[in-house]
A and B are shown apart, each in its own frame.
Chain A
């Protein structure tokens, strides 16, 4: 099972890389097409921005397919490892990194279906690839669980909700980044800014309840394992920082009407905070200090 998990893991790295290359090629074709339009003159009714739609080119179609394939391989990676270890594959940085990449691809796939904006993947896929490559640098051996982690249900749901939340923040970040690239006006045939602003907001609406659930489940687990639902452990505090920034974004947008650039900057802060939470245990130790 572990071997199968490893094969699927490497297959997912290849699939993510192929998807990324396809998207980059599609982008290049969009830019070439735009240059061509500028050179020969824009025909009546032509809208180069539509080239970023799902139906634009074979490269995009291949990119979308390989994105789904990567998600499938990562799902299989986690399931095989789960079967092999007997617990949710979320117990060390190797497993957590793969799970984080899986969360990013899962939420990306959801929004790809709903919004049909593959261009968001141009930012999400490098994030997923970086996480997968990082996973290749940390020990992948199955270590036995220390007694504090021997809570299969809470280990699984606490971390599963976390990776969905982080995945949603990665997608929100991706949309915000594409927005920021176009903050002074449409560029490179990227998706419409209003659409990106909406997509990033919807991704936050997915992520914020899951982050809240992660923190609550963590508190429940801390209460039974450590005898206290909140200890101001660095990872707990870092997750609270992320939660507060999310809350600030939602209130700024909902009640103060923050849209566009200011909202995008806050979303980038949310993703930075979630990365800080994710890697925090490596730097700050505390009760979450497992490798």
Chain B
């Protein structure tokens, strides 16, 4: 007996099979899980709960989730709100639900499931639309929740013509087939509508593909600050630059902004290629890059010249930051050849700072790598001051415009998916496929028509069916009728 030989061969085989099943799922099992509506519903519930958690709890901005120091600082900001739960929620990943691997995994599962189910159902839908079953058996008629029998004095061919006309008047397509002495009719309308369901499901996946393309491709710069009169490079290999030529803002009498807009010029390879007014809700677009008007603020135009008179810097400096005293606004520019960093400080609109009188600005000049400034000087407009061998002049006050500059290769895909989704849903729910069967039989003195449909639990269809039967009754004219149950059986 070899080591480990089984005492019960059958038991051994059974155990081995069980082990194999556990270690390597059968492909059929995988497909069953992917097409299982029960699993898909559970996943939908999980997705809903995760989204709810992401709605109820503060979510860390994308800029801090990849930076542990920034994330820790963000946690300290939300700690007063969540108290002792902060670290627990953080450990569970509930402050970054939408970027979590679990959220993405659920979406991937649902995408694969949706595609698998759509593929499996496609052929059935195609058959239903193109090859309707023509023969209505007596059993079908008896069990149909909606049915009616109509006697007509017309002969079968005339009754068929009248019946078909009534169906067509209600926009039904009519197909007929002979079944012995009977004439079988299959009338339907909106037969392609069920494909709206496929479109809507595929759209879900298309939108997710678009979202992935958005997240992984293109670029998005949230705060491109351009002092009016300045030009900045867009970067990201676009060879584009944008110049803010002018800025206008207007306010309601009560104070809120009515409108603010920038006149932009876009350059490619140094040549102006387009220009336009950039307003909220009306971004300027060029070559796949979109320039969104986002914010604005004060700026100062500064000039720096070397001792020999060479101009080192002559541009607007956006005062885009708020100083620690919360009263002043701060901007910055560099003089690399001189190894200087220059901070420009001015009181914010409506604020006063005794050290910076109206009509002046303050400079803090730092040598590279030094923590203490070389000098802090207040400059009056138009009066130059020399610091560290550089002549600085506060030319005038200006404004800056703040733009979001983005190239989103996923947006178009998302719009295609959205269109598919909306069209698919409206098609399948607002133009439901209707199929009604009928049979025309010869009888003494005319013909007998049976009409039936199996749409269950649909009171609106019951109304429709009743009206249709009335139309048919009138069409086959003057005959006695005998109607069966027409509402849900």
Q: What is A's interface to B at a CB cutoff of 8 Å?
A: 114-115, 144, 146-148, 150-151, 194-195, 197-199, 202, 205-206, 208-209, 212-213, 216, 219-220, 223-230, 232, 234, 237-238, 240-241, 244-245, 247-248, 251-252, 255-256, 280, 284
B246 contacts partner chain A, Cβ-Cβ < 8 Å: no
Contacts of B418 in A (CB 8 A): 216, 219-220
B31 contacts partner chain A, Cβ-Cβ < 8 Å: no
Give the docked Cα–Cα distance between A225 and B411 (Å).
14
Q: Which of the residues A147, A208, A216 comes within 8 Å of B281, measured between beta carbons?
A: A147
Tell whether A229 pairs with B430 under 8 Å between CB atoms, given A247-B44, A248-B48: no
Q: Which of the residues B41, B256, B460 comes within 8 Å of A144, measured between beta carbons?
A: B256
Query: Among B13-21, B130-138, B372-380, B419-427, which stretch is in contact with chain A?
Result: B419-427
B119 contacts partner chain A, Cβ-Cβ < 8 Å: no
Q: Which of the residues B37, B40, B425 comes within 8 Å of A209, measured between beta carbons?
A: B425
Q: Determine chain B's interface SS by DSSP, over half rule.
A: helix
Q: Which of the residues A198, A220, A230, A248 comes within 8 Å of B41, measured between beta carbons?
A: A248
Q: Are A244 and B51 in contact (CB under 8 A)?
A: yes
Contacts of B332 in A (CB 8 A): none
- B417's closest neighbor in chain A, by CB? A216
Q: Are A208 and B429 in contact (CB under 8 A)?
A: yes
Contacts of A237 in B (CB 8 A): 51-52, 54-55
Query: Among B69-77, B257-265, B437-445, which stretch is in contact with chain A?
Result: B257-265
Q: Determine chain A's interface SS by DSSP, over half rule.
A: helix
Give the docked Cα–Cα distance between A248 and B281 (Å).
34
Q: Are A232 and B54 in contact (CB under 8 A)?
A: yes
Interface contacts beyond A144-B254, A146-B256, A227-B294: sample of 15 additional A-B pairs, CB < 8 Å, sorted by A: A114-B459, A114-B460, A147-B259, A147-B260, A147-B280, A198-B458, A198-B488, A205-B429, A208-B429, A209-B426, A220-B418, A224-B281, A226-B292, A227-B406, A251-B37
Q: Are A255 and B55 in contact (CB under 8 A)?
A: no
Pairs across A and B, CB under 8 Å, 28 listed:
A144-B258, A150-B259, A198-B457, A198-B459, A199-B459, A209-B429, A212-B422, A213-B422, A213-B426, A216-B421, A220-B415, A224-B283, A225-B280, A226-B292, A229-B411, A237-B55, A244-B48, A244-B51, A247-B44, A248-B44, A248-B45, A248-B48, A251-B37, A251-B40, A252-B41, A255-B37, A280-B55, A284-B56
Contacts of A247 in B (CB 8 A): 44
Q: Are B430 and A209 in contact (CB under 8 A)?
A: yes
Q: Are B47 and A244 in contact (CB under 8 A)?
A: yes
Q: What is B's interface to A at a CB cutoff of 8 Å?
A: 37-38, 40-41, 44-45, 47-48, 51-52, 54-56, 59, 98, 211, 214, 220, 252, 254, 256-260, 279-283, 290, 292, 294, 404, 406, 408, 411, 414-415, 418, 421-422, 425-426, 429-430, 457-460, 463, 488
Give the docked Cα–Cα distance between A252 and B214 (Å).
32
Q: Which of the residues A197, A227, A238, A244 comes within 8 Å of B457, measured between beta carbons?
A: A197
Give the docked Cα–Cα distance between A202 and B460 (Å).
9
Q: Are A238 and B55 in contact (CB under 8 A)?
A: yes
Give the docked Cα–Cα distance between A216 and B417 (Å).
10
Contacts of A195 in B (CB 8 A): 459
Give the docked Cα–Cα distance between A212 and B258 (Å).
31
Q: Which of the residues B48, B260, B406 comes within 8 Å of A241, measured between beta carbons?
A: B48
Contacts of A280 in B (CB 8 A): 55
- B252's closest neighbor in chain A, by CB? A144
Contacts of A228 in B (CB 8 A): 220, 406, 408
- A147's closest neighbor in chain B, by CB? B280
Contacts of A245 in B (CB 8 A): 48
Q: Are A148 and B281 in contact (CB under 8 A)?
A: yes
- A152's closest neighbor in chain B, by CB? B281
Q: Which of the residues B259, B281, B290, B425 comes within 8 Å of A151, measured between beta carbons?
A: B281
CB distance from A259 to the nearest CB of B (A): 8
Q: Are B59 and A232 in contact (CB under 8 A)?
A: yes
Contacts of B290 in A (CB 8 A): 227
Q: Which of the residues B214, B411, B422 comes within 8 Å of A216, measured between beta carbons?
A: B422
Give the docked Cα–Cα distance between A194 and B462 (Å).
13
- B52's closest neighbor in chain A, by CB? A241
Contacts of B281 in A (CB 8 A): 147-148, 150-151, 224-225
Q: Are B279 and A147 in contact (CB under 8 A)?
A: yes
Give the docked Cα–Cα distance between A194 and B457 (Å).
7
Q: Which of the residues B54, B56, B220, B411 comes within 8 Å of A223, measured between beta carbons?
A: B411
Q: Which of the residues A148, A209, A226, A234 comes within 8 Å of B422, measured between beta carbons?
A: A209
CB distance from A142 to the nearest CB of B (A): 11
CB distance from B415 to the nearest CB of A (A): 8
Q: Are A147 and B458 in contact (CB under 8 A)?
A: no
CB distance from A159 to the nearest CB of B (A): 15
